[in-house]
Structure 1
Amino acid sequence: MRKNLRPCRPLFSLRADQTKLKPGPVSVSLRQTQGGFMSFTLYDASVAGFIRTTEAVAGILKRGRAHYEDNALDLESATEERLCGDMHPLHFQINSVRHHSVNAIRGIKGGSFEPPKPLEKTDFQSLQDLVQSTIDELKSYEADEINGLYGRDLVFKLGEREMPFLAEGFLMSFSVPNFHFHATTAYDIFRMKGVPLGKRDYISKLVLKSG
């Protein structure tokens, strides 16, 4: 049993300087082609990356399971492991990977987003199933569907506070950073427990030049 742990920090707590940021447009980089300019789309910047990294998280969970089983370790104890005493456990990190990808898209479509609700099941197999269902839903989105969300209003409801966003600002300044924070923390928890993982397990699939 852990002793003398500091309480976990509040979810989505903001520094004073973060609450004073003025709203502004999100720049979208352009790449030149022979036919002119082609935009780097909202789908490219969000869902495409969500898919690659969530597939990497699925592989990390698979490697973690194999390590625990091969070394006769208690697999279910892994779901409660924390990188640091005042951080949330593995099952929260996995839940957050889903929340800041699939639920972010759902939130934009519905116009509002809130912090994640606790999982009903936190056993290891349920975490693996959750990651797979996240991958499946992300892959069900069409690029035009996601790109069509550009400019849509969304309100992030944090208790009594409400923070207004446009879809692109929400994804790029909030969802994507949070998504990678929690995916990386899940990776780090397994590395801390001795699972043989490396950077390539997290980076996963590269998007190479075609043709």
Structure 2
Amino acid sequence: MSENRELAALLSRVERLEKENRRLKRGALAFLLLIASVGLMAQTRQTPPTSSQRQKGRAPAPAPGGPTAVEAQGFILKDSNGHVRAELGLTGSAPSLKFKDEDGSALVTLALNSDAPGGPLLLLSDPQHHASVALSVLEHAGPQLSLTGERADIQVHMAVAPDGTTLELSDKDGFTTSIGNGVVPKNGQAKQTTAASIVLYGKQRRVLWSVP
């Protein structure tokens, strides 16, 4: 009987030790999981890198390739119907840019004068090429502005030349008024006028009246 009691007590003690061992293992596993969770939370809560830090760590963008200039002797722009509406090219040795209507008439021309005197000029025209506006700055001639009506003899011309300024108005009957600097014949001689001068011309540019 005593042996059975001792055996039962021994088995009870072994079972109790096994239970305590299992509890210790569970506690150790829970502790390890807690440590791992704290580490992960600390990593996720770290301050994100600044833009300068990201740029330092980023590889430089590759330089763009391909040509940086297009070379040609002319460019033509066409609309959906195949009509040439703009043209960039050379007139002689001087460049010119033309904008055209559907009939191919150049209504706007921006160019450099290929002949002497050299300089830039701008020409605006109606589709019939009757009325026009011409603006130029030619060498040794200064800036000039001309307005022409549907008749070529109806004009307004303004010029700022090296020797003075001039404004001229012409009508369809051949009469012209000139204001400003110029040269007018008087008593068989050429007289230099001033910016305060007014000269009235008749047909064939005959002087009708002048002052001073």
TM-score range for the pair, normalised by the shorter chain length: under 0.3
TM-score, length of structure 2 as denominator length: 0.17
Give the number of the structure whose residues are more often helix, by fraction. 1
- Normalized per residue, the structure richer in strand is 2
Higher gyration radius (CA):
2
